Every structure is written in C-alpha cells, then in structure tokens.
Amino acid sequence: MIQGFGTGASMAGRLKEIAVDASAPIRTHMRLADLETPALLLDAAKMRANIARMNAAMARHGVALRPHLKTGKSVEAARAMIEGWPGGVTVSTLKEADQFFAAGFRDILYAVGIAPNKLPHVAALTRRGADLSLILDSVAAAEAVAAFARAEGLTLPVLIEIDSDRHRAGVAPDDVGLLTAIASRLADGAELRGVMTHGGGSYDAPGADRIAAHAELERSGTVRAAEALRAAGFACPVVSVGSTPTALFARDLTGVTEVRTGVYVFQDLVMAGLGVCAVDDIAISVAASVIGHQPERGWLITDAGWMALSRDRGTQTHAIDQGYGLVSGHDDLIVISANQEHGIVADRHGRPLDLTRFPIGTLLRILPNHACATAAQHDRYHVLDGGEDALQVWPRFGGW
C-alpha cells in the first residue's frame, strides 16, 4: 500500500511509547512542504492528549475502556489507545478483526449485527485463537448463530444489542419476552456474554446536559436489560455502552462494565460542534494545495475534493455549518463545495477574500467533519511528531 517510500530507519525515541513494534511505522524524512497533496496528516501529540483525556474519564468512573478501532484502522493508533487497558477492543468489520488479531489483539467485539454469510469468517478467526464476540437483536439471528456454532463444534460468545435511544438497532430495554427468547435460543451453541448499546442519538444532542441524559439512557437501558436476563436465570456478565460524547459526559456508570468509544482518538468538527472537544483538539487534517483562484467569486480552488475529505456533511444541522471542512487556522474559511478532486474554499459568510494571501501552491490543512469518514478515504497517515521536517507514515487499511 505504501509506495514510493523506503522502509527504513528506526523510530524517534519519543514515539516508542505509542508504537510498540518499531518495524511498523515508516520514517520517511519527508518534509510536509514536499508532500504530494492531498494527504492525510496526523498530529500525534494531539492524538495522545485525546487518548489521555478519555483514559482519565474512564479512571474517574472505574470502568474499563474497550476502544473502538474503526476510526483509525491503524495498528499504531490502536496500540496507543489500548495502553493501560486489559486489551479488549471493538471493531466494525471482520477485516478489522483480521488485521488487529494479526497484530496481537485477541479479545475483539464485532459491534455490528451479525449476518449469516459472515459466520464462516467468524469461525475461522475463532479457530485461530481470537476471542471474537458477536452482537444480534433477534430470535432469527440467535437461532442462526447457535445452529452454526453447534454444526461447527464451536461456542461463539454473543451480546444482545439493546436499543437505548431508539436511533437504530437493538431490542427495547424492557422487552423481557424478546430478551429471554433470544437468550434461550443462544443457550445451545452460543454463550450469552452480556448486553450492549451504542447511544448514537447523542450525536444529535449538543451540550453537556443533553449528552449526559443520553449517557443515562445507555446506562439505565442496558442495566435494566441485564437485570431482567439475570432474573430469568441467564448469566449476563458484560454490560457494554458507549459513544464518544456519552463516554466523556456520563455522570454515573453504575452497573456498566465497559465503555466502547472510538472517534475520541482524533476528534472532529462534529464533536466540536456538540461541545465534546475544541476545534484545536482535532488530530487529523487533510493537506491540500491551492491550485486556482476565482477572484470574482472569492473562491480558492484546491486539490482536496470529496475523495480526500469524504462526502460527510455532519455539521450541516449544527449551529455552525462547516461545509466539507474547516481550514485550520482560518476560522471563517470553509470548503463550501466539493467535487471528486476539487474543493472550493471560501469565506463562510460569503465575504470577499484576499486571494493574494493564498498563492498557487499554498498548503492548507482541512479539518474533517467526521474523522472516521475522512480517514477512510486514505491508505496512510503522515504523522507529524517532532516537527514538519520528519514525517512518519503509518499505514491504515479499509474494506471488509
């Protein structure tokens, strides 16, 4: 995936704590100014500060963190996130499970409802030694998993997904009949490991109080469901909740055994718009070059279009709409329009822009609306850690 760079010299001493395997990152000695644009940049110091903040929040609650690795899809970023925790992680694809298992992660929760066509892949990972747990929210899926596990002679761990805020999938927390029906079907072949929810509704709830209310929906819904299952005679050791907003703003996690959260590692403009972080906390950006001017319209044309930024418009409904991204260091310059390999940058209020300040070739850094979506458009991070004259490359992967 990484072309045009030598694999090479040893890591800088300061990176040793976040990249255990010194052979993985590629030190390029390339300068930021020489990078071919568009390219994805990662500020490692900001990433470490974001990780430290989440770790501190979990320490206050005394609850384990099971980081979600879908944002970074990077072994180096994952190692930084897992430091100090027992080692359980969350993934959104079996490709992530493959990659992170190969990198030494064993306790992996695949947090998307299982489809039957993925069970052979699950079995292969399990046989290779992964402790891979699945989620589901229906009797039909429970029967499919249990029947497959029996036929294969495996015991597959499963969590029941709970719909704590009615935003997507899961069993209603008080639907005891459905919860126990699923648990019964799992008994012969699978292992009911617990319940889980994702309070994704918190992404529509700006401000500490509204986010905290969503966190309490997550907590109370999963704890009630777990208690109902236990009352019906099912062991339900794990109560798993999480989203980046609720993880940081939860006021009480009584009864919760672990928190899953992912985007905190990089943060983004959606999180900033919700009040979850500051714009200055955002650890990734897309390096773009000015390739043209349209003086009459006050436009800078850049070479970072939606292929580099993603089509995510997650701030569209926020108080501050950041277009397709905000130009770092310029509070009112946003990407107002994006084609495949073109981004149009202009003043957010339509005010005239002095284009002579941005000659052809000027390097801009575009902050992402949604870190998961923007990072997904790239196959590597150019890591700034120790200055702009010694970039490292961290590979990242995509696909299924």
Contact residues toward a second copy (CB under 8 A) are: 33-39, 70, 92-94, 112-118, 121, 136-138, 140-141, 144, 161, 163, 166, 168-170, 200, 289-294, 297, 301, 303, 306-308, 310-313, 337, 339-342, 344, 359-361, 372-373, 376-379, 398-400
Nearer to a second copy, 63 or 159 (CB): 159
Nearer to a second copy, 25 or 200 (CB): 200
Whether residue 183 contacts residue 192, with contact meaning beta carbons closer than 8 Å, is answered with yes
Residue 134: strand pairing partners? 158
Contacts of residue 80, Cβ cutoff 8 Å, sequence gap at least 6: 18, 19, 47, 48, 51, 265
3-class SS of residue 82: helix
User: How far apart are CB 230 and a second copy at their closest, in Å?
Assistant: 24
- Does a cis peptide bond (omega within 30 degrees of 0) precede residue 38? yes
Neighbours of 131 (CB within 10 A): 16
Element (H, E) at 315: none
User: How far apart are CB 318 and a second copy at their closest, in Å?
Assistant: 16
Tokens at 64, concatenated: 């384990």
Nearer to a second copy, 289 or 328 (CB): 289
Nearer to a second copy, 37 or 257 (CB): 37
Element (H, E) at 32: none
User: How far apart are CB 364 and a second copy at their closest, in Å?
Assistant: 11
User: How far apart are CB 253 and a second copy at their closest, in Å?
Assistant: 24
- The number of residues in the chain equals 400
User: How far apart are CB 20 and a second copy at their closest, in Å?
Assistant: 24
User: How far apart are CB 44 and a second copy at their closest, in Å?
Assistant: 22
Nearer to a second copy, 96 or 385 (CB): 96
Tokens at 143, concatenated: 């029967």
Q: Determine the Cα–Cα distance for residues 217 and 133; give it in Å rounded to an integer.
A: 24
User: How far apart are CB 191 and a second copy at their closest, in Å?
Assistant: 20
3-state helix, strand, coil split of the chain in percent (to 5) is 35, 25, 40
Nearer to a second copy, 155 or 339 (CB): 339
Q: Determine the Cα–Cα distance for residues 350 and 356; give it in Å rounded to an integer.
A: 17
Nearer to a second copy, 144 or 390 (CB): 144
Residue 167: strand pairing partners? none
Q: Determine the Cα–Cα distance for residues 147 and 298; give it in Å rounded to an integer.
A: 63
